[in-house]
Structure formats: C-alpha cells, structure tokens
Amino acid sequence: MRRSPRSLVGGSPAAAYEITFDGRELPAQEGQSVAAVLWGAGILAWRTTREGGAPRGAFCGIGSCYDCLVTVNGLPNQRACLVPARPGDAVTTQEGTGRADLTV
C-alpha cells in the first residue's frame, strides 16, 4: 500500500479557490503562498531583472532574498514566498522595479 504524508497524519484537502497570474486562472489551496501556487502550476519564473530583463523566480524560499518579487493586486515588490495566496488575488509578472509608485 502506497502512503502519502497526508494519509499518515490523517489530513484532508484544504479549501480550494482560484487566483490569476497574468490573466491565467490557477488553482490554489488555503495556506499556500503565492510562490507555492505558481510552482504547482509549473511556473518557475515570474519576475525580470532591472538590468537585462533576466527571468527570476524563487531562490531561497524563506524571504531572505528578493528574487521572487511579484505584483499582487497592483502592489509591486511582494515576495511571493511570503505572501499568502488569497481568493481572487490578481498576481502579475513584475518587470524590473514594478509598475506602481511603491517601487524599490
């Protein structure tokens, strides 16, 4: 019999909802970060660098670096690994310093 971590602890699936990424609807579960939702959808890069436009995604996964910056609901410079995904969130690729007044 094959066992999973969820079956070992007796867990059940969390509530599901959707967020959008660059207009594409993605499934999310309660408790997931934006980065986890993007990874789950096979999206590995969601930011471009200021110089040269090189693609970036999650690097450290714990909020120490700034490679995973995204724009969430119009607010740029959000670390995707730390921001919890919320139902209806509109996440967009961040280009360079972002697209709002609150840029780095």
CATH number of 14-95: 3.10.20.440
Residue 103's pLDDT band, with cuts at 50, 70 and 90, is very low
Closest to 73 (Cα-Cα) out of 101, 87, 58, 92:
92
Intra-chain end-to-end CA distance of the chain, in Å: 51
Pseudo-torsion of CA 34, 39, 45, 50, nearest 10°? 30
pLDDT tens-digit series, residues 7-50: 778 777 777 999 999 999 999 999 899 999 999 999 999 988 88
H helix runs in 3-97, sequence order? 5-9, 34-40
CA–CA distance, 64 with 55 (Å, rounded to integer): 18
Q: State residue 42's pLDDT score.
A: 94
pLDDT at 53 over 60: yes
pLDDT tens-digit series, residues 54-77: 888 888 888 888 889 999 999 999
